[in-house]
Structure 1
Amino acid sequence: MKTNLLQHINSPKELRKLYNNQLPQLAKELRDFIIDIVATKEGHLGASLGVVELTIALHYVFDTPNDLLIWDVGHQAYGHKILTERKNIFHTNRQLDGISGFPKRKESVYDAFGTGHSSTSISAALGMAIASKINGDFEKHHIAVIGDASIASGMAFEGLNHAGATDANLLIILNDNAMGIDPSVGALKNYFTNVKAGKKVRKNNIIEALNFSYSGPIDGHDLPALIKELERLKSIKGPKFLHVITTKGKGLKIAEQDQVKYHAPGKFNKKTGELVPKINEIQAPKYQDVFGKTLLELARKNSKIVGITPAMPTGSSLKFMLDEIPERAFDVGIAEQHAVTLAAGMATQGLIPYCTIYSTFLQRAYDQIIHDVALQNLPVIFCIDRSGLVGEDGATHHGVFDIAYLRCIPNLVIFAPLNELELRNIMFTAQTGINFPLAIRYPRGNATLVNWKLPMHLIKIGKGELVFKGNEIAILSIGTIGNSIIEIEKDLPKNKFSLYNMRFVKPLDEDLLHDIFKKYKTIITIENGTIIGGFYSAILEFASKFEYKNSKVIPLAIPDSFIEHGKVYELFNKINLSNENILKMLLKL
C-alpha cells in the first residue's frame, strides 16, 4: 500500500530525501492537492497543473532557497508554494488575509522575486546572478522559468540580449505549452512550434545565436529526464537555456481540452472538472462583453475601426471581433508597448483604433502613450478594462493608478462611464471623428442593466450631469462607483444630497463645477482609484485655481497604499468604500 508522500513534505529539504522512483507518485499527489483546493477556493489552475513535474525537479535538484528560483508571472507557482512551507495554508490562497496567488518576497524566502506581470523573470534573475558574482558567491544558481507567451515580450528579449553577453550563472527554462491565457501568437511561437516538430531550425537557433548554451526540447512531464538534464546543466558555466514542453492543465482531462477556460475556471467538480453552474438568474452583462459586443456592432458599420489587444482577446472580449472580422482585429501577444504604438501608426493613416488593455498592464506602455500618441495628438481610443479594484489577483492587478498617471498627459481626454449605456455611447462618439486621444476606463465585473443594447447617442466632450438634486451637500462621482450613491439614495435624508456624475476627469466640466462650488459648502468626491493624483486631486486643483476657499472637499477614494487580495466587496469594506460605510459617512455629515 502506497503511503501519502505529500503529507510528510513541507519543504524542499524533505523533498530531497525521497528516492527518484518516488517522485512520480508525489507528482500525482501534488496535482490532486492543487485540484482539490482550487475546485472550491478558485484560482489559476491550468498553468500550475502543467508544471508539477518541473516544480518537483527544480526543488529536488537545486538548493532552494539558497539557489534562487523565479517564476515568470506566477500563475504557475501553486505547486511551488505547496512544496515551500505553505501547504497547510494553501487553502487561504487569494483570500482576504490569506497567501497571495502570486510569488511574493515578504511571504516566503523561497519567493526570490515578486511577480504578477509577465516577462520580468530573466532581467531579475540576471540581476541576481550579477550580484552573486560581485558578492563573491560563485556557486549560487539562478533559475528563471518563463512561458512561451511571456518570452515573446520585449522586456524578455532585452534580458536575453544582455544575459547572452555575460558569463552569469543563469539558467532560463522555457515552459513551452503554446499558451498564455489565450493561445500564444506570433513568429516566435511559430519558431518554437517548428523546433518541437523536429524541423531543421537548429542550425539557425535563435537562442544559441544569443550566446546561450541551448538544450531541449525535452518532455516536461518526464521526471527522470528533467532531473538528469537539470543535474547536467548545473555543471555548465555561463548562461544556459532549457526548452521544456508541457501541457497546460495536465492531469485534468477537461482542463487539457479547454485550456483557455481552465486557466482560471472558478469553482468546478474536482473529479470530472465540470464547472459548478452559477445561479440561474438573468444577469447584466460583464463590462468587458459590453465593450466587445459594442465594438463589433460599430465595426460592422464602420470599416475604419480596428481592435487591438495585447494577449487578452478572451479577457477583454475582443474575441467577438476577432472571430467575425479577423482582418481588423489584432492580438499582438504580451506586448503592451507595441500595441499602443501599433495603434498610433494605424491612426496616422485614418483608421480608428480601439486599443483594449487592462489598467494594470497599460502601466507598461506609459512612454508610448505620451510620446507616440499624446505628443502627436493621435485619435487612439484606449479602452481600459479592469480599472479600480479587481479582487483576488491583488496588488499586482488592481487598476487603481490609471486616472492619476493619465491625467497629467496633455491632449488626452479621460472618460469614466457611470454604466454600460454610457460606455456604449462614448464608444459610439469616439468613432464619429474625434481629433484627440481618448481613454475610457471601466471595471471588472457585471454592469447594471439586463436590457442594455439600446440605440447609441453622442456624448458631449467634457460635460457632466446631475443625477439627483439636494440642497446641502454635493457628491461628485467618476465612473461606475457612482452607482453606490444611487443605490443608497433611498436611505439618505430627503433633499440633503445632490449627486453629480462628472463622467470626464479631463477635461473637467468647469461650468458645472462653478455652479457646484458657488452653491455647496461641503463637496464629496468618490472614485475607484488612488486618492493621490486622481479625481479628488483634480477637483482640489480646480478649487485652488478659482480660489473657492469656502467649500470643504472630502475624498472617498482608495488610500495611498498597495491593496492586497480578497473579494472586491471585502476590499471595499476594508477601505471604507462599501455601500454601508459610505452611507455611515454621509449620515454623519
Structure 2
Amino acid sequence: MLITPGKLLAQINSPDDVKKLDQVQLVQLCDELRQFIIDNVSVYGGHFGASLGVVELTVALHYVFNTPHDQLVWDVGHQAYGHKILTGRKETFHTNRIYGGLSGFPKMKESPYDAFGVGHSSTSVSAALGMAAASKYLGQDRQHIAVIGDGALTGGIAFEGMNHAGVSDTNVLIILNDNCMSIDPNVGALKDYLTDITTSRTYNKLKDDVWKLLGKLSAFGKSAQEIVSKVENGIKSTLLSQSNFFESLNLRYFGPVDGHDVDHLTMILNDLKNIKGPKILHCVTIKGKGYGPAEKGNATTWHAPGTFDKISGEIHKKTHDTPQAPKYQDVFGHTLVELARKNDKIIGITPAMPSGSSMNIMMKEMPDRAFDVGIAEQHAVTFSAGLATQGLIPFCNIYSSFMQRAYDQVIHDVCIQNLPVNFCLDRAGFAGADGPTHHGAYDLAYFRCIPNMIVAAPMNESELRNLMYTAQLPRKEKAFSIRYPRGQGMMPDWRTPFEEIRIGTGRKLRDGDDLAILTIGHIGNYATEVCERLLKKNVEIAHYDMRFVKPLDEDLLHEIFTRYKKVITVEDGCIQGGFGTAVLEFMADHNYTAEVRRLGIPDRVVEHGEQIELHQECGFDPDGIERTVTELMESVSRTV
C-alpha cells in the first residue's frame, strides 16, 4: 500500500522545489508533510513523535538554506523523516527501516543531503563544526547547521563541541530542538535551565520585541545589529540569572522561538544566515505535534509505536493464543527488582533508556535506588564506579552499541581499578531495523581483551536470572558483563529459582559424534534447533553452551578438543576477536588440531532489517548452521 502525498508535497522532489513555493504555501506544505509521515508510519511503523515535532523546522531549513551545498546535520537522526521526504526519497519512504530499504537515520551514502550519519546522539555540533572549519580553511562560502534535540544536548560530546565552537570563529549555526524529551522525559539540571528560559513570560515578551527590532534594523548594517544584541543580552542578564549559559561559551544565543511557526522560523533563519560566527537558535517544539494521541498520550509510547490506526490512535498489538516468552529487557527489569528487594546494596543505572532497558520498573518501585543519568554513557560508567568504591553493587544497564561510547571509562575507571561493576548490555547482536549504528556487534570482542573483566551471555531467561544473581553475590574484584539480545526469549515460564553459576563454567547440552557446536548466548537456541533437525536424520552432533567468553571453561574445551576434530563456533557478535577467536586461541595455546568454522557477524557493516533476515545474510541462522554442519560432516566422510 503506497501512501499518496498531498497536492503540494507531490510536486516536491528536492529542496529546489520547496524554494519555488510562495512563503504563504509553506503552512500547507507542513500540513501535508506531517500527514504523509503519519500515514506512512501508521502503516509501516518507525520512529514517530520526533519527526512530527520538527516538520516546520525542516521545511524552513530547506526553504532558507541551499542544501546540500549548505550542510545540515540532524541529531538524533530519528528526527529526519521530513528531511528525507523533501530530499528525493518520498517515493521510497515506505521502505524506511525495511531490509534493503531506506535507513531510519541520515546516511551519507544514501543521499548527498545527509551530510553526516547520526544514529547515536550528541555528535552534530562536533561534526558540523568540523565541516565549518574545513570550509573556512578551503575558502568556501557555505552554511553549516546542526539540529540537536530529543535529549541529545545532555551528551557530553555536545558540550565539548559547543566549547570549541565558541572560540572557533566559524560559521556554524546550532539549532536546539527543545521538546523536553529524548525517548523518555529528559532529566537533569540542563532540562531545568531550558525550562526556566521557555517559561519566563517577561523575558519572552521582551525577547519578541527585540526580535522585531532586529528585523527592522537589519537593513542598517552590522552596527545596528550589535546594538540590538547588547540590548538583548542586557535583558537576559537582568531577567534570567542563568540565561548567559550559552553566551558564556561565546555562542550568540537567539530564542526561545516557537518551533511550529514556519513563517517566523523562515524570517529568523534568513536573519541568522547573515550573522557570522557561531550561534545557537533555541526552538521550542512539541514531540508528536499535529497528531492528537501522540501530543496528549505517553510520549515514550509514541516515540516508535509500531503500526497503529491513525483514526483512533489504537496501536496494533500482536495477539497470541498461547503464552509468550517475555522480552529479555523485561526479564532484566523484573529480576533486578527481585534481587534488590533481598540485597539493599543493589543500585540501578541507565543512560536515558529507562523504558528501553526496563530500568523503569526499578525506578518506579525503588526511586531512590535507580538512576537515569541522561544521554551520558561515560558518566553512567564512572558514576557506577564511584558507587562500587563505597561497597554498593551497581547494575549499569546500557545498550551494547552505546557502551562503545564509554569504553575508556570501562578500562580506566572500572577495570584498571578492579572495581566490581556489573554491566548489563541490552540489544547485543543485531538490533534489527535501527541498523548498524545500533547493532551490538562488538562487545564480546572489546570486553574480553580488558583485564579484570568477566564476559558472559545467557542462552535463555533462566540463565539471565542466574547470571544476574551470581553477579550480585559478594566478590572483591572484577567487572561483570552480561549481554542479551533485543526481543523475546524462549521461556513463557521464566521466573525460575535463582541458582549460582560458577564463573567460567559452560554446560554440555547434547552429546554427539564427530562434530561439536559451541555457542554463546541466545543464538545457541538456533543450534539446539539444528541438533533436533539432524537427529531426525540420524545425525547426532554435540552442543555446548559455553556461557562465558572470559574466563573460558578450559576443562570443557579440553574435553571438546580431545574428542572432536570438527568444531563450529556460533556467536551473534563480530567474528574478529570474538568468542570463536577465543576458542582458536585456546586450541593453539594447547597444541590441539581441529578444523574450526567460526560463524558470526562478518568484518563488514551489516545494514538494517529484521534480526532473522540479518542472521540469514550472515549465515548463522538455523539453515546456515545446518549447512555448515553438513559441509563439515561431508568432509569427514571424504577423509574416512
TM-score (norm 2): 0.90
2:485 maps to 1:446? no
Q: How does 1:305-316 map to 2 (within 5 A)?
A: 305-316=346-357
2:114 counterpart of 1:116 = no
Q: Is the 8 A contact 2:255 2:281 kept in 1?
A: yes
Question: Are 2:596 and 1:553 equivalent residues in the alignment?
Answer: yes
Cα displacement string for residues 85-107 of structure 1 (whole angstroms, at most 9, x for unaligned residues) = 11011111111111111001111
Q: CA RMSD in A?
A: 1.2
Alignment of 1:332-347 (within 5 A): 332-347=373-388
1:464 matched to which residue of 2? 506
Equivalent residue for 2:546? 502
Q: State yes or no: 1:292 paired with 2:336.
A: no
Residue equivalent to 2:101: 98
Distance 2:630 2:521 in 1: 23
Distance in 1 between the 2:613 and 2:496 partners?
Answer: 33
Q: How does 1:258-407 map to 2 (within 5 A)?
A: 258-281=298-321, 282-407=323-448
What are the ranges of 5 or more consecutive residues in structure 2 without an aligned counterpart?
204-238, 634-640
Match of 1:394, SS?
A: coil
CA distance in 2, matches of 1:415, 1:523: 21
Selected match of 1:566 from 602, 609, 612: 609
Aligned ranges 1:54-453 → 2 under 5 Å = 54-137=57-140, 139-147=141-149, 149-198=151-200, 200-201=239-240, 204-257=243-296, 258-281=298-321, 282-434=323-475, 435-453=477-495
Matched, 1:529 2:568: no
Q: Which has the larger radius of gyration?
A: 2
The change in CA–CA distance for 1:148 and 1:477 in structure 2 (over 3 A counts) is closer
2:65 and 2:385 map into 1 onto residues whose CA distance is 46
Counterpart Cα distance in 1 of 2:312 and 2:21: 31
Which residue type is aligned with residue 301 of structure 1?
Answer: K
- Whether the 8 Å CA contact 2:53–2:289 is kept in 1: the answer is yes
Alpha-carbon offset, residue 148 of structure 1: 5.5
Indicate if the aligned counterparts of 2:150 and 2:183 stay in contact, CA closer than 8 A: no
Q: Deviation per CA, 1:484-505, whole angstroms, max 9, x where unpaired?
A: 1112322114463100000000
Aligned equivalents of 2:167, 2:354: Cα separation in 1: 36
1:3 CA displacement: 7.3
Does the aligned pair in 2 maintain the 1:492–1:587 contact within 8 Å? no
Indicate whether 1:476 and 2:518 are aligned: yes
Letter in 2 for 1:152: T
2:47 to 40, 44, 59: 44
Question: Cα deviations across residues 22-65 of structure 1 (Å, max 9, x unaligned)?
Answer: 11111110011111111121110110000000000000000001
Partner of 1:575: 618
Q: What is the DSSP-based 3-state SS (H/G/I as helix, E as strand, rest coil) of the residue aligned with 1:395?
A: coil
Equivalent position amino acid for 1:19 in 2 = D
SS for the counterpart of 1:337 is helix
Paired letter, 1:371: H
The structural deviation recorded for 1:202 is 6.0
1:556 CA displacement? 1.1
Shift in Å at residue 201 of structure 1? Answer: 2.0
Relative to 1, partners in 2 of residues 1:127 and 1:470: Cα closer, same or farther, differing over 3 Å?
A: same
Choose which of 594, 618, 630 in structure 2 pairs with 1:587: 630
C-alpha distance in structure 1 between counterparts of 2:40 and 2:182, whole Å: 22
Separation in 2, partners of 1:526, 1:337: 31
Give yes or no for contact 2:50–2:150 (8 Å, CA) kept in 1: no
**Structure 1: 5+ residue stretches without partners:** none
Displacement of 1:270 in angstroms is: 1.9
CA distance in 1, matches of 2:312, 2:118: 31
Check the 8 A contact 1:481/1:528 in 2, yes or no: yes
Q: SS state of the match for residue 554, structure 1?
A: strand
1:486 aligned to 528, 532, 537, which one?
528
- Give CA-to-partner distance per residue, 1:429-484, whole Å, 9 cap, x none: 11111232100000000011111111101000100110011021011100010001
The amino acid across from 1:383 in the alignment is C
Query: In structure 1, what is the Cα distance between the partners aligned to 2:629 and 2:513?
Result: 14
Deviates more, 1:348-357 or 1:206-215: 206-215
Deviations 1:233-260 (A, max 9, x none): 0111100100000000111111112210
| Contact 2:6–2:32 under 8 Å retained in 1 | no
Provide closer, same or farther for how the CA distance between residues 3 and 532 of structure 1 changes in structure 2, counting only shifts above 3 A.
closer
Shift of 1:332: 0.1
Residues 102 and 115, structure 1, Cα contact 8 Å, conserved in 2: yes
Confirm or deny: 8 A CA contact 1:94 1:393 kept in the other structure: yes
Q: What CA distance in whole angstroms lies between the structure 1 residues aligned with 2:516 and 2:156?
A: 47
What is the number of equivalent residue pairs in this alignment? 586
Counterpart Cα distance in 2 of 1:100 and 1:30: 19
Give the AA of the match of 1:275. Answer: I
Cα offset for 1:81?
0.2
